[in-house]
Amino acid sequence: MVMKDLTIGKLAKRAGVTIDTVRFYERCGLVAEPERTASNYRIYSATEVARLQFIKKAKSLGFSLNEIKDLLILRHTSEATKAEVKSRVEGKIRAVKAKIIDLSHILEDLEKLNQSCSGHGSADDCPILEALDNGEAKEHVCH
């Protein structure tokens, strides 16, 4: 039997999020609907602190709330395998790498643009603005 003695405010404080965020996560299904006191206050056990920290950590690694929801389900599904978890992480690794490559191309283009311009004089004949006028827009879109 776990002690349920945390109000939403205490839970939020311990996990380092706001009360609004906890309720928002509840609406999204990231945090289960908790029991209520007689006066309808939500009460939580300390395990919910861990769950919120899990969410925070995963978010900081670039997982979206939907992806985190999947991870949380895996975490509590006894048939889940390490392979499934690992493949989520590997998918995210691929996505992050793709994003980095994409940004690197953008960076290259920006640096070329920047080098084309002396930075002196009126913008009337600014090579940067001219380049923006002419070139075909490359698509650097992440799918």
Partner DNA sequence: ATAGACCATTGACCATTGTCTATAGTCCAA
Partner DNA sequence: TTGGACTATAGACAATGGTCAATGGTCTAT
Residues within the interface to DNA (CB under 7 A): 7-10, 17-21, 23-25, 36-42, 59, 64-66
Residue 32 binds its own copies, judged by CB under 8 A:
no
* CA atoms of 51 and 42, how far apart (whole Å): 16
Nearer to its own copies, 9 or 62 (CB): 62
Query: Are the CB atoms for 94 and 108 separated by under 8 Å?
Result: no
Nearer to DNA, 25 or 71 (CB): 25
Residue 41 binding: pick among its own copies, DNA, none (C-beta 5-8 Å cut-off by kind): DNA
Residue 66 binds its own copies, judged by CB under 8 A:
no
In which residue are the tokens 């691929």 written?
94
Tokens of 6: 């945390």
Residue 135 binding: pick among its own copies, DNA, none (C-beta 5-8 Å cut-off by kind): its own copies
Q: What is the largest CA-CA distance in the chain?
A: 75
Taking residue 113's Cβ as centre, other Cβ atoms within 10 Å add up to: 15
